[in-house]
């Protein structure tokens, strides 16, 4: 679906915020409940009807899980400890040594500073190249520096996010993060179409 540019910001903000904290948090749970109550095939601007209906059913099913189990899945898939099947940080995919705070993370921080974008490092314990932070940044760019959306996508986000979501979905099978990963992937696939809108 070729959705208008104004749809990117709220979708990216919602998904990014959800991926930044555990599901039981006072910020994330209401967002998850709101997302699960949506008629995704009618209301989500990215993806086909059948896929969005399947995602919607998976979300509703996943939210019947006990909050402690949802949080366990969050930690297993997005935080650690231990080796993550799909690490949520760009430099793990892009740095030659696959490390946190690698060259690509540093490059993103420089890119942001060059455009006057505050890093707010004290507000989040996550590196700036965490998938959640990058989706929130995408939302912010859509609203505040729309001319930077495509450069950000091409130079930073899409250099690794498709690979991340491709790894996340099977690792997250049967959990809340399987449909969330699929929904985020569909959303990002729709963003390059902004060139034509």
For residue 188, give the CATH number of its domain: 1.10.3480.10
Q: Using CA atoms, how far apart are residues 196 and 5, in angstroms rounded to an integer?
A: 10
Burial class of 68 by CB neighbour count within 10 A (0 to 12, 13 to 18, 19+): exposed
pLDDT at residue number 2: 45
> What is the domain range of residue 127?
5-196
Return the structure tokens found at 162.
Answer: 């498709």
In contact, 22 and 71? CB cutoff 8 Å: yes
Whole-angstrom CA distances from 24 to 69, 95, 97 are 10, 32, 34
DSSP structure class, residue 116 = T
The pLDDT > 90 percentage for the chain reads: 81
Question: Residues 86-104: what's their mean pLDDT?
Answer: 92
Q: How many helices (H) and strands (E) does the chain have?
A: 11, 0
Q: Does 193 score more than 80 pLDDT?
A: no
Lowest average pLDDT, out of 5-9, 52-56, 80-84, 95-99, goes to 5-9
Whether the pLDDT of residue 190 is over 60: the answer is: yes
Q: What are phi and psi of 181, to 5 degrees?
A: -60, -40
pLDDT value, residue 122: 52
HSE-up of 169 (CA within 13 Å, CB side)? Answer: 14
Specify the higher pLDDT residue, 77 or 191.
77
Give strand pairing partners of 130: 89
Query: Which one-letter DSSP state was computed for residue 89?
Result: B
Q: For residues 22 and 70, what is the distance between their CA atoms, to the nearest angstrom?
A: 8
The number of distinct structural domains making up the chain is: 1
């Amino acid at each position: 679906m070729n959705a208008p540019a104004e749809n990117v910001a709220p979708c990216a903000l919602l998904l990014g915020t959800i991926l930044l904290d555990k599901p039981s948090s006072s910020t994330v749970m209401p967002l998850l409940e709101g997302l699960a109550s949506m008629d995704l095939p009618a209301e989500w601007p990215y993806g086909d009807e059948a896929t969005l209906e399947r995602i919607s059913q998976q979300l509703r099913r996943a939210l019947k899980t006990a909050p402690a189990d949802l949080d366990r899945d969050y930690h297993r898939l997005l935080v650690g400890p231990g080796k993550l099947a799909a690490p949520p940080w760009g430099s793990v995919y892009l740095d030659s040594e696959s490390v946190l705070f690698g060259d690509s993370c540093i490059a993103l921080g420089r890119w942001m500073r060059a455009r006057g974008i505050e890093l707010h490092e004290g507000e989040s314990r996550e590196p700036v190249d965490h998938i959640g932070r990058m989706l929130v940044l995408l939302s912010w760019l859509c609203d505040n520096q729309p001319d930077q959306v495509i450069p950000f996508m091409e130079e930073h986000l899409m250099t690794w996010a498709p690979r991340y979501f491709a790894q996340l979905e099977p690792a997250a099978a049967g959990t809340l993060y399987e449909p969330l990963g699929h929904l985020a992937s569909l959303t990002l696939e729709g963003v390059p179409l902004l060139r034509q809108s």
